[in-house]
Structure 1
């Protein structure tokens, strides 16, 4: 995304990753290079397509759609994503392919089916592969939404980082969409985040505790986080191929090169209108915190990482049914030492300090999640206890249809 100086909440950068699969078998189709060449005439790793750009990811069966630069409002943004999803599906139709949503492919065997990107940026991917072996689920089978929020000064960075830290633990309770791995219901609402938080255990400094440390200035961030990461990677990457801000894999990462913080914990939903519903809710809660309407900035800075991590782990496992304890609800003005995630989220949605920032077209999607559970919970319910490959294919074909037409998944 192009860099322009923006203040807090002046713009939003949204990135969404989708799987390309065979429309009958749902097997992954490693054809992203073909797709990008079809629209650009070359094996480019990124193509501007108007409102959105299309780009590659680490693996060849994933394509990313992202806003071209930032957009001034989230309202109506799902329309741009739907337009390009239709364009891509029309192109894929000729090779019996289609896009499929959710955070993980439910049947993929990455050891056999992974094909890494082999064009531009391949030295980066080759180095990752040499260090971590990228043919596992934690690399080859993860689809997420990234939310980029700008800051205009060091003080704004600190306030934004403090607020985002507090909101990260509840994201899986709203956004989990990955309950199945290799044909097995894992018992985790957010299997993507469970593998994500362990996929770099070889060099644990890269992801840390996923919830970032208590740092609230650029200097603190560089001294505490970047120094630790770059020191740990150096023996494995002597040429410095990976020595960049994006090596950091915490749940939100500072992108000082473009004056933004990128939030990375959100699973892909079943359609853009549902993605934007979740994004809008997350951003609205962050906004209320930045404005000091629930907890002062000084108090936000005091919250230890371990409390936030413990809540996040519960949400990864249980989604909207997760018990949020450790006094976490009280940080948002909800006078309970602990409660289930759905109750806290409903309380937040009912607060005018949050609700006023949510575009009206996305309220219905949030209500679906709060009333019927995360997409993970709805997927498991749709299986009706039958996790056979054919049952899983039927459910995920339905999810691909939701993506194609732009609707919510209601089993």
Structure 2
């Protein structure tokens, strides 16, 4: 098949990647055995194992396994069942190690300085380069699990439209997806603690993550010149071998992968089960599609937004999640939300889900309704643990999350402590 035919147009395919921790069943201590899991599946230590529609792969650290669509899926519908089957398959294989998969954006009790083991097999030179430059033992490297959504574009024009829309939606995504309220055994006070550490993990070279919201660039040439070349130049003194002079090194909340003709959205925390992950993606996708289709305002208006203005909004959402206030009327108008005063991000999402989000699967619709009515997973975890939980209370709640993951359920806290 010629490479011409491989290129998909806007919204013709979706790549989804879900990351999970492997932990000891009772203590929830992280277990660096992803390589053993892969070896047990295929009899060798490799980075990717393909099972038809879904593949497994390693990540930087040895206690995380990634499940991903093998090539683009035509629709998001039906994906949660496929991921769920693989979650259960992996959990069955991990039983012999007294281990299981644990969801959520960050392990609440992990000590990254003592518990981190890097992937030692193929592709290891890239990980070693990261470790040499940044020391990957921090939470921002060793303790963050996300849900990546890859959206295709076929040419420069489509890239410009998609990038304009994605940039606008990025600041409000964590209101739906935040799932990391606890780090180092303490409630952090932030709704999305994973994103807070993520945005600082490469402070040594600030151009790598920028403001997390990408700059207002809408062609491949401009993107490479203004974003990628700057990163490569800033990295060069630390990366003598050139291991990291690749577009994957860009750590913004959405990155252009021109080699694959996709934009990859990276700031979504993993949820308690695949059905909730797909619910978040359906909402995000509905908003992006509507903006690309100029439902409320034309694309030129979206392209005019400066990343600093959007980044300020993102920081507010990292702190306060769906209760973050939006006072920027112009922003709300871009989503067709015309109100006299300010509103919460949660209220904006309720407006968007009514207007543009189409969910055909009942269980996905239920999961999205829970997020909109009961709060994102971060808020529900905090309701369950209380504000000053003991390590044992934290373990009990996260054991419930592990059970949700195994059963494909949505987490509902019984009551506050």
Match for 2:155 among 153, 156, 167? Answer: 153
3-state SS of 2:19 partner: strand
Q: Distance in 2 between matches of 1:361 and 1:301?
A: 36
How far residue 361 of structure 1 moved from its aligned partner, in angstroms, is 4.2
Unaligned runs of 5+ in 2: none
Query: Could you give the per-residue CA deviations for residues 30-75 of structure 1, whole angstroms, max 9, x where no partner exists?
Result: 0000001111111101111221110000000000000000000000
CA RMSD of aligned residues (A): 1.3
Match for 2:342 among 320, 338, 345? Answer: 338
Query: Could you give the per-residue CA deviations for residues 184-209 of structure 1, whole angstroms, max 9, x where no partner exists?
Result: 00001100000000100000000000
User: 1:111 maps to which residue?
Assistant: 113
Alignment of 1:8-157 (within 5 A): 8-157=10-159
3-state SS of 1:258 partner: coil
Q: Distance in 2 between matches of 1:162 and 1:24?
A: 46
Q: Is the Cα–Cα contact under 8 Å of residues 33 and 62 in structure 2 kept in the other structure?
A: yes
Give the TM-score taking structure 2 as reference length: 0.96
Q: Which moved more, 1:143-152 or 1:383-392?
A: 383-392
Q: Distance in 1 between matches of 2:115 and 2:398?
A: 18
Q: Is the Cα–Cα contact under 8 Å of residues 30 and 61 in structure 1 kept in the other structure?
A: yes
Q: Is the Cα–Cα contact under 8 Å of residues 329 and 338 in structure 1 kept in the other structure?
A: no
Q: Does 1:372 align with 2:367?
A: no
Judging changes above 3 Å, is the alpha-carbon distance between structure 1 residues 357 and 391 closer, same or farther for their aligned structure 2 residues? closer
User: 2:266 maps to which residue?
Assistant: 264
Q: Is the Cα–Cα contact under 8 Å of residues 144 and 267 in structure 1 kept in the other structure?
A: yes
User: 1:293 maps to which residue?
Assistant: 295
Q: Is the Cα–Cα contact under 8 Å of residues 157 and 216 in structure 1 kept in the other structure?
A: yes
Q: Is the Cα–Cα contact under 8 Å of residues 311 and 325 in structure 1 kept in the other structure?
A: no
Q: Is the Cα–Cα contact under 8 Å of residues 54 and 70 in structure 2 kept in the other structure?
A: yes
3-state SS of 1:265 partner: strand
Q: Does 1:188 align with 2:213?
A: no
Q: Distance in 1 between matches of 2:359 and 2:100?
A: 34
How far residue 364 of structure 1 moved from its aligned partner, in angstroms, is 1.5
Q: Distance in 1 between matches of 2:385 and 2:119?
A: 33
Unaligned runs of 5+ in 1: none
3-state SS of 2:71 partner: coil
Query: Could you give the per-residue CA deviations for residues 326-356 of structure 1, whole angstroms, max 9, x where no partner exists?
Result: 33222211124631111111111111xx134
Q: Distance in 2 between matches of 1:265 and 1:383?
A: 24
Aligned residues: 408
Query: Could you give the per-residue CA deviations for residues 165-219 of structure 1, whole angstroms, max 9, x where no partner exists?
Result: 0000011111000000010000011000000001000000000000000000101
Q: Distance in 1 between matches of 2:61 and 2:126?
A: 12
Q: Is the Cα–Cα contact under 8 Å of residues 210 and 250 in structure 1 kept in the other structure?
A: yes
